[in-house]
Structure 1
Amino acid sequence: MNRLLIIFFFSSLITASQNHTDLSYYLPQDINYNQNIPTPESVIGHQVGEWHVTHDKLVQYMYALANASDRITIEDRGKTFEDRPLLLLTITAPKNHQNIDAIRKKHIEATNNNATDTKDMPIVVYQGFSIHGNESSGSNASLLAAYYLAAAEDNYINELLDNMVILLDPSLNPDGLQRFAYWANTNKNINLNPDPNDREYSEVWPGARTNHYWFDMNRDWLPVQLPESRARIETFHKWLPNILTDHHEMGTNTTFFFQPGIPSRTHPLTPKLNQELTKNIGNFHAEALNKIGSLYYTEESYDDFYYGKGSTFPDINGGIGILFEQASSRGHVQESDNGILTFPFTIKNQLTTALSTLNAAKNMREDILKYQHDFYKNARQEGIKEATKAIVFGDEKDAAKTFHLAEILNRHKIKFHNIKQDFTANGKRFKKGYSYIIPKNQKNTRLINAIFEKRTTFQDSLFYDISAWSFPLAFNVDYAENVSTNNLGEQVTNLQQKIGGVSKQSDYAYLMEWHEYYTPKLLNQLLNKNIRTKVALKQFSMNNKDYDYGTILIPVQNQKLNGTGLYALLNKLAEESHIQIDAVKTGLTKGIDLGSRYFKTLEKPEIALLVGDGITSYDAGEIWHLFDTRYNITATKLDTKTISRANLNRYNTIVIPNMGSLSESNTKKLKAWVKDGGTIIAYRNTVKWLKEKEFIKLDFEKTNVSAKNISFEEKSDFNGAQVIGGAIFEAKLDRSHPINFGYKNDKIPLFRNTTVFIKADSLSYNNPIQYTKNPLLSGYISKPNLEILSKTVPVQIKKLSKGKVVVFTDNTNFRAFWYGTNKLLMNAIFFRKEL
């Protein structure tokens, strides 16, 4: 009872104090503020921190500021998947705005030559807020930061704006921010309740951390697969900011973190001076937080290894990235180990460090500008040493994958060329029109190294994120390093996809090889229109061309369309998907003829994707995104809550991402559906559940790591070192198996971040994909785990009565940039009866 009285007492105080939180709580009060600049409250209708600002109100306020202040211009850089604007405010002195393009060009030009005079150059600071939508104190603080920069009037702010260009991104994740504001506001009590058990502090699945397709966008700075990322990366390379801040939240019972992170976990390509400057900037944060009495820590927990995060991406691009992590109230007020944590307090800390960053930039301007200029000077010198060297990549059977990797290079302002003519390197053939070559002698040579590197030795065995991301392996393209620049053709300045189409009209049949990335999209469109198609289970040749396993046959006769209509449809779809389709006039071939029993009729997929409680939303979102945005496949998002009343007979395929378990009644229903002919395709920990519930018979290899001479203090690090946080491994393929149709090589790089180890089947033909003897290609794995892995398989396919169960130990669709294994899922769907 006493505890309840205490909570009631504090709740009353909290309610009273929060409802009266005004600008004086957040902002410096020893200066004047321009009365002609609208305050946040005057536009959004409430004090900052009283409610969670919705994205539409955030947008409204930023436009109001831009209209009222000659220090601010605003631009709409594009739209999210949910059609919300991606805003950017450029904030600087009015005189700088009059010359802003010249300032930007001079800033960029200084990174292209050996200029060292930084005396009169403004420093550029990019401030980004709340890339995770439910870490909303950042975006709410952006209201105050923008107001302060527009309205404050004293010598300090004038000097700051004279010598600085601030790129303020008020919401890096508009869709997630809107989703979370709705949740927090609709569950808010009039009498604020700090009880952590209150519904306000526990979002429903999938939560608002992510964007529309449930992606963690703070992992997409390097892959650049999402519209939000593309907008900010375009801005980044347009300006090359000297400092980039990334405002986050963490667990409620923590305090406040600012970088640097753990020193031993900094990527080796990052200069040491980068971390020294980061630490010096941190002194300004410490001083500012000391003044308001906020606890904080640094050089713990987080790291600067994976370059796909906002706080690390600048480090390989001549800037300094800074991560801020604020203990989260997850709503409006919550009990914590450090006392009652209010939403306004979290906002105040974010604002304090946003302003301390600007103070650091002002005071360290010349040192930081010199660092950037030296970074690119040294990079150019490194490039000159490799002036005759280049990297070539491509896939002579798949122009689309090659194109999409080139797209990433293009977004990062990396120069590349067509190859002059076909040539062979490292035993791989590179075909003109299907390959690109990157000269190492260029400004962004360090970024090239980061994108293409394979690394297997590390200073530390723990990682906050993945330890490997080599892009040619992720795309499963052929590539070779240290090739001669004599192979360079013309530079690619207008990147375009290969032209597709049908060779000519046929009265007999058409053939489409399965190698191209978008063939599943085209096949799905044909099946949706009830066009009969067949798949070749064997290789054959005709018209001086070899056709591989998985070639799709479209007969002309006995179709829903006449010959002319079928040709027009195929040509339209082939052009749209950039695929070449061959017309043939006979069924005779070298090998299986077109009427052979080894051509199997395909069935239209009817797909359900399991989502909801118990499912990892990242994995589910990646699959949904793949279906919806790349292959135009309509898949029903089947919630775990509705399985019991759903008619599963509508579907022939159910995809289950990483999952813990289902209720016994739903398990029983799902098993009956499989036995009746359905196909389950499952990932990661779902594999264990399927074995436990006897959907599939599997044997697992067990890890057996003993902790010898490990102290209690070292326990956490020891156990963490056994985690496979994200590395790349080589596997061999049985190319004749339908799960591998469309792959031209007999080896494939696979991403892995689990310790689910499936023993190989005793029958070799039941192991269509199997890890090689020495499988590690890039990334960290402990020696005991590596020894176990080499004996296992990443895929197994088993019958269950009339149905099939296909299991993958790891994600084939990782973060949208793992193009190289997307087709494994497509094969499991389209060729499910042949597996």
Structure 2
Amino acid sequence: MNAQKQTDLSYYLSQDVTYDQSIPTPESVIGHQVGEWHITHDKLVYYMQALAKSSNRITVENRGTTFEGRPLLLLTITSPENHKNLESIRQAHIASTENNTVTTGNMPIVVYQGFSIHGNEPSGSNASLLAAYHLAAAQSEDVKNILENAIILFDPSLNPDGLQRFAYWANSNKNKNPNPDPNDREYDEVWPGGRTNHYWFDMNRDWLPVQLPESRARIASFHKWLPNILTDHHEMGTNSSFFFQPGIPSRTHPLTPKLNQELTKNIGDFHAKALDKIGSLYYTEESYDDFYYGKGSTFPDINGGIGILFEQASARGHLQESDNGILTFPFAIRNQLTAALSTLEAAKNMREDILQYQHDFYKNARQEAKKENGKAIVFGDEKDAAKTFHLAEILKRQHIDFHELKADFTSNGKQFKKGHAYIIPKNQKNTRMINAMFEKRTTFQDSLFYDVSAWTFPLAFGLDYEENISTSNAGAKVENLEMKTGTVATKSNYAYLMEWHEYYTPKALNAILNSGLRAKVGMKQFSINGKDYDYGTILIPVQNQNKSAADLFKFLQKISEESHVQIDAVETGLTKGIDLGSSKFRALKQPKVALIVGEGISPYDAGEMWHLFDQRYDIRITKLDNNSLSNVNLDRYNTIILPSGRVDSGATKKLKEWVQKGGTIIGYRSALNWLKTNEFIKIDFKKMERKATDITFEQRGDFRGAQVIGGAIFKAHLDRSHPINFGYKADNIALFKNNTLFMKAAKQSYNNPIKYTKNPLLSGYISKPNLDSLSLTVPFKVKNLGRGNVVVFTDNTNFRAFWYGTNKLLMNAIFFREEL
């Protein structure tokens, strides 16, 4: 304990090393010893910039900003000589992944070191101060040798907004006399905590979807260099020790080469030796996994690199009681520093083997791809260019080549339209990444998963796709990706029509209603001017509006361009089907939406919704804190969303009265239990019996874990005439599910507008008892309560910002709430 209290450099760094006195120590810039206080992001930035100014071993770049405007720094750390030839080194490194004849023997190894992607796991970013100082100032031959043989891409804070939020909490609750009592407020940060970024996303799930600015910056850096090793520094429970990979062998994704795990294990020997030297306990291969490629420690594995996860027991503040004695923040920092430096030692010693592994990874991938020459994947939606664009955008960020269609064509009854679809040739460098993104997998070696077991991208986006089409359908390779422009072809003196299929139609409709214009929704299909209009078409009359016909035309032109939607002008109300004056066109009201957040609510679910409204659709949404809900005037809102969680008990009666007066409450996932218990809605859940036979005490955890639905994709049938399904052109949908809530279907079929099919599994793991329970259940239900209604979804329609295909279900529940 006394040794752990020390926070000067002698506690962290070897006293056998001489340090350049011209290089500033962390304390000289940030004003305190590392570990004495939690580093704030602004001070972290100042120190990294100070190092770059004073050391010829370091350069620093700002790759962009977070949602809160904080810089996304990347340091490049290597020898001065390598800095002079950095671009030629980079080009040679990339060439080794593209050319079978390139030899890697004399090349530097590339190591990406990333710290604290979870902001309240801060020992990583605090250790980055020491690691950067050591690499900048140490005069030892060992460090000089590392720098001569390695290019270190150094990311001191993968999550600046979260780190800043947590540092404020820990520092503002620190005691002068440190108190290790785990009940102290210091160790119990307020909702939503510092783990996440501004919109409460777990950014360590975004390496593959790349939906957040922080992710986009680091993925650009990753593909620019294709690092051989990437380290990802995390924290875990206070009573743990230290973990380094490999994880549980049976839970490695089958697309990852076995040699990857062997090399990971060999690197682990260096961690063990270094941690032994300082007397720190550790373990490996007993938990965590390498399955989902959207995590930092697994993403490199499908890109020819080796990802390594570090998990350090967390003090959650400055020091705390634990099963291993008093755990101090400096102790946690020292372990992270030790692992960061042992990684570099491994990289130096294993350089040739790891460089050769990456070279062979892409050589073998090209051989696999060559067998697929002439074959391609096509994806798209003839009615929705925006969703198609956003999947193509991910492919572009992941350096996957794709082409325009040469011409419209049909495959297996699916229409692929030029401008609304793209073709991916399978014969290309990143063919393994393509497989990882597009595959449907339903058989697994293991039944336990640390994260999701499926993420098939065309299913997530709700797009049509075919996997084995000819590349003869491919047109020009897409170099500069641009989203389809919206238009209003001509001015009308009668009315305008907007089909509801395009992804950004909710953004357009909200802007229309927000301006005070009248709009209606068509409850039936119809045809006019030779064009068929589907359920949910939006009608904007020209007469009796707050704008002249000319101004309305200009306004709708602006809206169509900003929302990438087509709006059609018509000059008559006479159609084939319901006429435009029909009562089957229902008047719409401007949504006034509130989102319940705070204690008792899942910050992930709430954040995904906040992001969807705020960033995608430009719909103003009010975040109501759960603890103060009973004091809020709810009459300001016509829709309230309850993400997974529960409402503070003091507000239950008030919320129910608000619904009975005409409000709509939309509940998600575990909120259904709360709504049922408090008699907002009657729900008949289907229970699964878990019978364990011949299960030992040791096996009990795995048995229970196998009954968890960690995240898989299932097929449901749609009644497209129901307003909840407006905008969907097919009669089925792919839904993401990661819970065991199974609602029984209603007796009347029209009350089951979304219903899981008899054999619903599309991709991912689910136990047979759970699959049997899920069959023919419903993920959606709506019931009246007084003059209002209660809408419930068992599943997340907004998962991790990349499940574009189901975002519209929530939008339909909001805009068409009175028609449900």
Q: Which residue of 1 aligns with 2:108?
A: 122
SS in 1 for 2:539: strand
How big is the shift at 1:705?
Answer: 1.9
CA distance in 2, matches of 1:312, 1:118: 24
Q: 2:490 aligns with which of 504, 517, 527?
A: 504
CA distance in 2, matches of 1:471, 1:681: 27
Q: Does 1:549 align with 2:505?
A: no
How big is the shift at 1:642?
Answer: 1.1
Q: Which residue of 2 aligns with 1:822?
A: 807
SS in 2 for 1:407: helix
Deviation per CA, 1:153-204: give whole Å up to 9, x if none: 1211111111100000000000000000000000000100000000000000
Q: Which residue of 1 aligns with 2:418?
A: 432
Q: Which residue of 2 aligns with 1:756?
A: 741
CA distance in 2, matches of 1:697, 1:618: 27
Deviation per CA, 1:711-756: give whole Å up to 9, x if none: 1111000011001110000000000000000000001000001111
SS in 1 for 2:627: coil
SS in 2 for 1:626: helix
Q: Which residue of 1 aligns with 2:447?
A: 461
Q: Does 1:381 align with 2:367?
A: yes
Q: 2:13 aligns with which of 27, 35, 44?
A: 27
- The answer (yes or no) to whether the contact 2:95–2:102 under 8 Å persists in 1 is no
- The answer (yes or no) to whether the contact 2:96–2:103 under 8 Å persists in 1 is no
How big is the shift at 1:797?
Answer: 0.6
Aligned residues: 820
SS in 2 for 1:698: coil
Residues 662-741 of structure 1: matches in 2 within 5 Å? 662-663=648-649, 665-741=650-726
Q: Which residue of 1 aligns with 2:754?
A: 769
Q: 1:213 aligns with which of 199, 222, 245?
A: 199
Q: Which residue of 2 aligns with 1:404?
A: 390
Q: Does 1:77 align with 2:63?
A: yes
Q: Does 1:419 align with 2:367?
A: no
How big is the shift at 1:427?
Answer: 1.7
CA distance in 1, matches of 2:622, 2:140: 58
Q: Which residue of 2 aligns with 1:6?
A: none
Paired AA for residue 38 in structure 1: P
Deviation per CA, 1:523-572: give whole Å up to 9, x if none: 00111111100000000001110000000000000000000110000001
- Which stretches in structure 1 are left out of the alignment for 5+ residues? 1-9
Paired AA for residue 154 in structure 1: S
Q: Which residue of 2 aligns with 1:744?
A: 729
Q: 1:560 aligns with which of 532, 546, 552?
A: 546
Q: 1:371 aligns with which of 357, 366, 383?
A: 357
Q: Does 1:616 align with 2:627?
A: no
- The answer (yes or no) to whether the contact 2:517–2:546 under 8 Å persists in 1 is yes
- The answer (yes or no) to whether the contact 1:246–1:324 under 8 Å persists in 2 is yes
SS in 2 for 1:758: coil
How big is the shift at 1:116?
Answer: 4.9
How big is the shift at 1:31?
Answer: 1.6
- The answer (yes or no) to whether the contact 1:328–1:346 under 8 Å persists in 2 is yes
Paired AA for residue 51 in structure 1: W
Counting aligned pairs with the same residue, the percent is: 74
Q: 2:149 aligns with which of 163, 169, 178?
A: 163
Paired AA for residue 530 in structure 2: N
SS in 2 for 1:391: strand
- Which stretches in structure 2 are left out of the alignment for 5+ residues? none
Deviation per CA, 1:583-623: give whole Å up to 9, x if none: 00000000000000000000000111000000000000000
Q: Which residue of 1 aligns with 2:521?
A: 535
- The answer (yes or no) to whether the contact 2:245–2:265 under 8 Å persists in 1 is yes
How big is the shift at 1:46?
Answer: 0.3
Q: 2:91 aligns with which of 100, 105, 125?
A: 105
How big is the shift at 1:661?
Answer: 4.6
Deviation per CA, 1:339-364: give whole Å up to 9, x if none: 00000000000000000000000000
Q: Which residue of 1 aligns with 2:256?
A: 270
- The answer (yes or no) to whether the contact 2:626–2:647 under 8 Å persists in 1 is no
SS in 1 for 2:154: strand
Paired AA for residue 148 in structure 2: D
Q: Does 1:792 align with 2:792?
A: no
How big is the shift at 1:759?
Answer: 0.3
CA distance in 2, matches of 1:661, 1:624: 18
CA distance in 2, matches of 1:159, 1:246: 23
- The answer (yes or no) to whether the contact 1:115–1:373 under 8 Å persists in 2 is no
Q: Which residue of 1 aligns with 2:573?
A: 587
- The answer (yes or no) to whether the contact 1:314–1:321 under 8 Å persists in 2 is yes
How big is the shift at 1:447?
Answer: 0.2
Q: 1:196 aligns with which of 154, 170, 182?
A: 182
Q: 2:310 aligns with which of 312, 324, 330?
A: 324
- The answer (yes or no) to whether the contact 2:496–2:567 under 8 Å persists in 1 is yes
Q: Which residue of 2 aligns with 1:227?
A: 213
CA distance in 1, matches of 2:401, 2:102: 25
CA distance in 1, matches of 2:529, 2:665: 39
Q: Which residue of 1 aligns with 2:593?
A: 607
How big is the shift at 1:426?
Answer: 2.1
CA distance in 2, matches of 1:414, 1:329: 41
SS in 2 for 1:159: helix
Deviation per CA, 1:128-151: give whole Å up to 9, x if none: 000000000000000000000000
Q: Which residue of 2 aligns with 1:285?
A: 271
CA distance in 2, matches of 1:46, 1:694: 55
Paired AA for residue 289 in structure 1: L
SS in 1 for 2:782: strand
Q: Which residue of 2 aligns with 1:137?
A: 123
SS in 2 for 1:167: strand
SS in 1 for 2:440: coil
- The answer (yes or no) to whether the contact 2:96–2:104 under 8 Å persists in 1 is no
Paired AA for residue 458 in structure 1: F
- The answer (yes or no) to whether the contact 1:500–1:576 under 8 Å persists in 2 is yes
Q: Which residue of 2 aligns with 1:489?
A: 475
Paired AA for residue 823 in structure 1: K
Deviation per CA, 1:207-266: give whole Å up to 9, x if none: 000000000000000000000000000000000000000000000000000000000000
SS in 1 for 2:544: coil
CA distance in 2, matches of 1:258, 1:392: 40
- The answer (yes or no) to whether the contact 1:116–1:370 under 8 Å persists in 2 is no
Q: 2:81 aligns with which of 95, 105, 127?
A: 95
Q: Does 1:521 align with 2:526?
A: no
How big is the shift at 1:660?
Answer: 3.6
Paired AA for residue 108 in structure 1: I
Deviation per CA, 1:779-824: give whole Å up to 9, x if none: 0000011011012100001111111000000100000000000000
Paired AA for residue 60 in structure 1: Y
CA distance in 1, matches of 2:630, 2:564: 42
CA distance in 1, matches of 2:599, 2:17: 51
How big is the shift at 1:86?
Answer: 0.1
Q: Does 1:479 align with 2:465?
A: yes
TM-score, normalisation: structure 1: 0.98
CA distance in 2, matches of 1:300, 1:538: 57
- The answer (yes or no) to whether the contact 1:396–1:429 under 8 Å persists in 2 is yes
SS in 2 for 1:637: strand
Deviation per CA, 1:380-427: give whole Å up to 9, x if none: 001100001000000000000000000000000100000100111122
Residues 644-659 of structure 1: matches in 2 within 5 Å? 644-659=630-645
CA distance in 1, matches of 2:297, 2:601: 28
Let me know the Cα RMSD of the aligned residues.
0.8
Q: Which residue of 2 aligns with 1:573?
A: 559
Paired AA for residue 319 in structure 2: V
TM-score, normalisation: structure 2: 0.99
